[in-house]
Chain A
């Protein structure tokens, strides 16, 4: 079984400042890791994913995340945020051999970018 903990429920940040969203997971098997973004009243959109290989993963909209196996973390970062980055962000984990490619999501982190 897998679980995901997003350590911050809300992160206020000023425009053009950097942001980091923390995600820790637990799993008894090898995992795939994802970050999704949900804009108000919309579905979830894939930001980036880690399947294997380089631990630094680059995604869309200038986001990147680093997989740290020893710390079981997959933190998301952006060096300079825009107002349009205001959204809910979800970290998700899937077991490499999970039945049905099931993803388990964290509780989400709301990012509020202030001018």
Chain B
């Protein structure tokens, strides 16, 4: 049973295209995240949703638009892809409430823009 699953695992596309990455968790968590990991392995938060509500929106170009149809799903749509968007995108989830239990991460989507 995959706890946090991302699709696709690899995505190669040309500049200017629009693409989506999907994430689903079956852990019953109520908070989900998108992180971007660059070529130097640096992880930067992009967005977070809690029960379908956007609660974290870091400085990210408007070309990136998250959508959460329900608390188990968080998708990321990217318009007009640029070379600098090449990275590994990780979805993660956790449960809010008392304490902070740490995230469960998906295995990542490696996006290559050519």
Interface positions of A (Cβ within 8 A of B): 32, 34, 36, 38, 42-46, 49, 51, 88, 90, 94, 96, 98-105, 107-108, 110
Contact = CB atoms under 8 A, between A and B. Distances in A.
Contact of B102 (A49, A107, A108): A49
Interface stretch (B12-20, B38-46, B64-72, B74-82): B38-46
Contacts of A94: 100
Given A43-B90, A43-B105, A44-B105, A105 B43 contact: yes
B50 interface: yes
Given A42-B107, A43-B106, A108 B42 contact: yes
Interface of B is mostly: strand
Given A51-B100, A108-B41, A100 B55 contact: yes
Contact of A34 (B33, B44, B96, B102): B102
A58 B105 CA distance: 21
28 contacts: A34-B102, A38-B41, A43-B90, A43-B106, A43-B107, A44-B92, A49-B101, A49-B102, A51-B99, A88-B41, A90-B43, A99-B55, A100-B33, A100-B55, A100-B96, A101-B48, A101-B94, A101-B96, A102-B45, A102-B48, A103-B45, A104-B45, A105-B35, A105-B43, A107-B40, A107-B41, A107-B42, A110-B41
Contacts of B107: 42-43
B56 A32 contact: no
Given A45-B105, A98-B100, A108-B42, 9 more contacts: A44-B105, A46-B103, A88-B41, A96-B100, A101-B100, A103-B103, A104-B45, A105-B44, A107-B42
B31 interface: yes
A90 B94 CA distance: 18
A94 B35 CA distance: 15
Contacts of B101: 49
A49 B100 CA distance: 9
Contacts of A107: 40-42
Contact of B31 (A51, A101, A105, A108): A101
Nearest to B47: A100
A87 to B, nearest CB: 11
